[in-house]
Amino acid sequence: MNLAPVSPATRDALLRRMEKLGLAESDIEERFTRSGGHGGQKINKTSVAVVLVHRPTGTTVRVESARSQALNRFFARRALCDAIAEKLRLEKTARQQAREKIRRRKRRRSAKQKAKMLEEKHRVSEKKALRRKPATDD
């Protein structure tokens, strides 16, 4: 990956981050398109916008913030790292929430909770008993 307009330290940091997230260049499909907005003839003639697709996850990122294609390539990879990191974070929290839900389901009620629940049951039972028809003694 040739990212000429960025410093070697910045490029290395991005490569380390991609490696940490498990992103390989071979998994990324890169396309160049014309970007919209201001710029006139220059924008209409050159394909500056970068579209990256991470094939394993299906994550797509489009960047057209800079006027340089090389700089947009760098920004697109950084945005792709952000998107995949967010996706991984959401999956992790979903797994933790599922685990916590199972743990709460298995937990037994405390004595105080049981007493409170039984008290509520008695109260409802008495209220419903008052709704019954009076017994006739024949």
Please check whether residue 16 lies inside any domain of the structure.
yes
Question: Are the C-beta atoms of 76 and 59 separated by less than 8 Å?
Answer: no
Q: Is residue 58 part of a domain?
A: yes
Q: What percent of the chain has pLDDT over 70?
A: 96
How many domains is the chain built from?
Answer: 1
The torsion angle over the Cα atoms of residues 50, 56, 58 and 64, rounded to 10 degrees, is -10
Query: Is 20 part of any domain?
Result: yes
> 0.85 exceeded by the pTM?
no
Identify any residues that bridge with 31 across adjacent strands, giving them in sequence order: 51
Domain ranges, residue 72: 8-102
- The answer as to whether 30 is a domain residue is yes
CATH value at residue 97:
3.30.160.20
Structural domain includes residue 125: no
- Residue pLDDT, tens place only, 49-107: 999 999 998 999 999 888 888 899 999 999 999 999 999 998 899 999 999 999 988 88
Determine the longest span between alpha carbons in the chain, in angstroms: 103
